[in-house]
Structure 1
């Protein structure tokens, strides 16, 4: 767990900084800032539109009477993708855009489902049924 947090909070920003400096040296500081601003704007729009699409699918699943597990995972990755696009940097932009494209997002969802399945089989995650639930 420590290694994952270490990479998240130290390695990724260092890679982002390196890419920003390298690309900024090639296309110039103003153009780099402009690209970052444009990707954040497009990312916010895509996250909003994809988020509404996923929300509609969740509502459809609920109205048909089944648990929208797949749809919730899609929603999670839309949220992460939108956040990644609002974070300045080229690596996070690439990851964020990939999470907002439904066909590529399906790969992320498949990996997440497989990871969850393995954790449940190993007993790392316990599933509990709540019988005293009151709406």
Structure 2
């Protein structure tokens, strides 16, 4: 029920903020803020993908824990998505997530709430023993003796 209430209340808060801030800022400045934060969100998402993969790869190559980097990068991507969505509340949350200290605190809070588990087995990993399984196959003819291009499908005019 709380998630449903959130989805019900969120748009109402955004509309109230649009009306309140829109009347204070004026139409053109309101549109400029919405379009500007949307462009900022797109720029963040475009630059974040490859950068995140490189940072994760580097952390794993150095045998360091990649979870803090992954959490921070995920929150930056969430910030980009929130900035793309039109609305002053989503923009404020997106801008807040761009602050490194805020991301660090959220990642630390999430790390305390969740635990990482790993699984191990007593059985050794199975290796291929070189056994080849014989099989038979049948080649299905495509209907063209010359192997040339396909005839027109009938759906196009030639």
TM-score range, shorter chain: 0.7 to 0.9
Corresponding residue for residue 119 of structure 2: 129
Is 1:108–2:98 an aligned residue pair?
no
- Report runs of 4+ in structure 1 exceeding 3 Å deviation: 46-55, 130-134
In the TM superposition, 1:3-82 aligns within 5 A as 3-7=2-6, 9-82=7-80
The count of aligned residue pairs is: 124
Gaps of 5+ in 2: 127-158
- Say if 1:91 and 1:37 are closer, same or farther in 2 by CA, change over 3 A: same
Contact kept, 8 Å, 1:54 with 1:74, in 2: the verdict is no
- Note the aligned Cα RMSD (angstroms): 2.6
Gaps of 5+ in 1: 121-126
What TM-score results when the alignment is normalised by the length of structure 1? 0.76
1:13, CA displacement in angstroms?
Answer: 1.5
Q: 2-side partners of 1:55 and 1:5: how far apart?
A: 34
Q: 1-side partners of 2:52 and 2:99: how far apart?
A: 12
What TM-score results when the alignment is normalised by the length of structure 2? 0.66
Q: 1-side partners of 2:49 and 2:98: how far apart?
A: 9
Q: 2-side partners of 1:27 and 1:106: how far apart?
A: 33
- Say if 1:93 and 1:130 are closer, same or farther in 2 by CA, change over 3 A: farther
- Say if 1:105 and 1:112 are closer, same or farther in 2 by CA, change over 3 A: same
1:31, CA displacement in angstroms?
Answer: 2.0
The answer to which of 52-61 and 27-36 deviates more is 52-61
- Say if 1:48 and 1:76 are closer, same or farther in 2 by CA, change over 3 A: same
1:53, CA displacement in angstroms?
Answer: 4.1
> How far does the alpha carbon of each residue in 1:26-58 deviate from its partner, in whole angstroms, 9 at most, with x for none?
122232122100111123223444555443321
Contact kept, 8 Å, 2:79 with 2:97, in 1: the verdict is yes
The structure that is helix-richer by fraction is: 1
- Say if 1:44 and 1:130 are closer, same or farther in 2 by CA, change over 3 A: farther
